[in-house]
Amino acid sequence: MKKAIFLDRDGVINSSAVVDGKPHTPKNLEELKILPGVEAALVMLRESGYLCIVITNQPDVARGKVTMESVEELNNHLRERLAIDDIYACYHDDEDKCECRKPKPGAILGASQMYNINLNESYMIGDRWRDIEAGQSAGCKTVFIDYSYDEKRPVGHTYTAGSLLDAVKLILRDKNEKN
């Protein structure tokens, strides 16, 4: 079985605009800014034998604030530029009660079946409680990137980090200590 790092997109791979303490997703390529250290972090993960799979909620599609085509354009740009194996995007909002919208683990579980992933040897990295809860529900270890948003905080995560690169260093240190 394979190991994977599941990553939230906005706030982990690319920056989020924070307004009144809440993060907001970029709407187009002009607003998309890949965070410092992300390219190196993803290469380090790939070289260490991890699949890198983005799991992202994009409820602004259901809310009519952005088109699915715009989100796909951003995702395709990230696929082309970064060491990402796949991107699973949920376009629903909470009232849709779908299984793919974090904090539910449906997208992670679907990816694990598609790629034959051992979830106990995998991690979910995110900057919001929904990411951490989805990873925990799927059976993954979790890393919370803490930007001190003005919202519910996750509990019980494996690690806290300040960036994706910091998170990757923690994960790889763990891996090396076990070998």
- In DSSP terms, 166 is beta-bridged to none
DSSP run (H or E) holding 153: none
- pLDDT at residue 179 is higher than 90: no
- pTM (predicted TM-score): 0.95
User: Which among 169, 144, 151, 117 has a CA at the least distance from the CA of 4?
Assistant: 117
Q: What's the DSSP call for residue 2?
A: B
- pLDDT at residue 176 is higher than 80: no
Q: What's the DSSP call for residue 25?
A: -
Q: For 95-148, what is each residue's pLDDT tens digit?
A: 999 999 999 999 999 999 999 999 999 999 999 999 999 999 999 999 999 999
What confidence tier does 17 reach under pLDDT thresholds 50, 70, 90?
Answer: confident
- Domains detected in the chain: 8-49+60-109+140-161 (3.40.50.1000)
Which are the catalytic amino acids? Answer: 8, 10
Euclidean distance between CA atoms 138 and 165, whole angstroms: 23
